[in-house]
Structure 1
Amino acid sequence: MKALAPPLRQIHLHQIFYDEATRAALDPGFVPMDNLANARPDWFEYWSIRRFFLGSVLNENDLYGFFSPKFRTKTGLSAEAVRQFVGDGTASRADVYLFSPVWGAACYFRNVFEQGERFHPGLLPVSQAFFDAAGWRVDLRQLVMSTRTTVFCNYFVATPRFWRRWFEVGEALFRIAEDPGHPLARHLVTFTAHNPAANIYQFKAFLQERIASFLLCVEDWNTVACDFSALPDPLWPAHLQRDLLVLDALKMSYVDTGLRLFIDEFDRRRSGS
């Protein structure tokens, strides 16, 4: 008997808009997600995604993605490019498809929490305190992430099964941050550096943005990353990109084999010794 082909998966791609300017700039290939009210700007995209999950029933065979208005600017990708990459999922049947910008950071840093600490000082200890409070016994400094497990800006498409895990952790963060009586809450809502303009971002926003990477690193998920080397990354000059790819490969080899020599070589090359 001929084996049955897996069912086709519908791809639901949403893009959030906050005002008339971002609505006018929407990619027509995305489903518009209205956040004109912007009731909780402190939660950024999470507020819109949260409202979606609280009020929607997901099809278990389908894939879902939620993108900010800056998706095209940050990645150079259109909705059609995302849709073509994901396809109907019959080739890989992946749980998560990654479209992260600034891929050089995914190569250079050991993980997104180390990277976050560099650009948002104080994020790593706050993140560690949250995962400790949520019952995870993980030393964030020791996690090793590569471009296969790194997500920036929540730019990914995934199955409902993964989104549920993501939302579960996100809601744990939401409950603590929203509870003024919780000892960790004041740290989560503390403002931190992000860019020279102003410190208008709280730690909770940067931690929330790293939940997907955390889950992909500590749990078993099948991921497929787009050709990240073709994406723009203004933070890393072209002459360094070959070295970045070597760093990424060393981290992948360490994760695949568990052999210390790979992560030791990663550390040695990164330090320039």
Structure 2
Amino acid sequence: MSASSVDLNLLLVLHTVLTERNVARAAERLHVTPSAVSNALARLRSALGDPLVTRKARGVVPTPRALELAPGLARVVRELELMLSVAPFEPASCTRTFTLAVADLGQVVWSPLLAAAMRREMPLAHLRVVGIDTLVSLGDLSASEIDLHLGIPAKGPGIYAEPLLEERSVLAARRDHSVFERRVTRRALGELRHVRVEMVPGKNFRDPFAATYARAGVPREVVMTVPSYTTAAEIVAASELVTMLPLSFLRARGEGLGLREVNAPLPAHTARIAMCWHERTHADPAARAFRALVRDVVKGRQRT
């Protein structure tokens, strides 16, 4: 006889009856009626071809076949209970590897703070940081490899998004750029040549700054497209080109690269930054703790 031919719930009933040696007490423990227990035993007798238990004055007596089954049933039920039990989550003993998908903005600004926070709160856990191109190539948040995405709010079935902050972007140029020699008018702004950041080529990329320039009535000549803010900043630092950079990125890297913000006649451009995750990790205690850590880091509640 194979396990697939027997309703495994019936074996749980038999285990409980053999433990209690009483149908009524077994029914109470299983939260069912005594007649439901009796019916289950009848079905199992038919399947196994053995009476299993016989009645006595104040309970039941197991047959030799039932006594043979009892130790194995007890072991299986105990292992199932251990497997299904949920121990309290302890961050200090967590050994999980968490995968965070974030653009190089977050890699530069938040990853160092997050690494320090994990070292304090989850010292045995590991952090894997991947870019947005990797997020897309793996199948976005529905893929089992990504625990959390930090960036522009994602949408889709089963996706949760929690807004964290708004990030302002500004026009940046090298410190000795000619643009700083005179007042930046719309005409002067339109004469500049730009580096554009496109993180995932070929994925219907929408240039977020095109509308900003359009609202200002300023033409924008893009002469170079690169996959990251880091690359754009390096190019601008070594040329007469300019680029739009998130303000926090410029503050983190601008001084070292010799970059400055250009006081340009442009409408303010802000983007919402959110952390996004899939419903498959929504209730997981370890994933929830990781999200709390990321939330505190991005909102500036973690000490350095």
Q: TM-score range by the shorter chain?
A: under 0.3
Q: How high is the TM-score relative to the length of structure 1?
A: 0.21
Q: How high is the TM-score relative to the length of structure 2?
A: 0.20
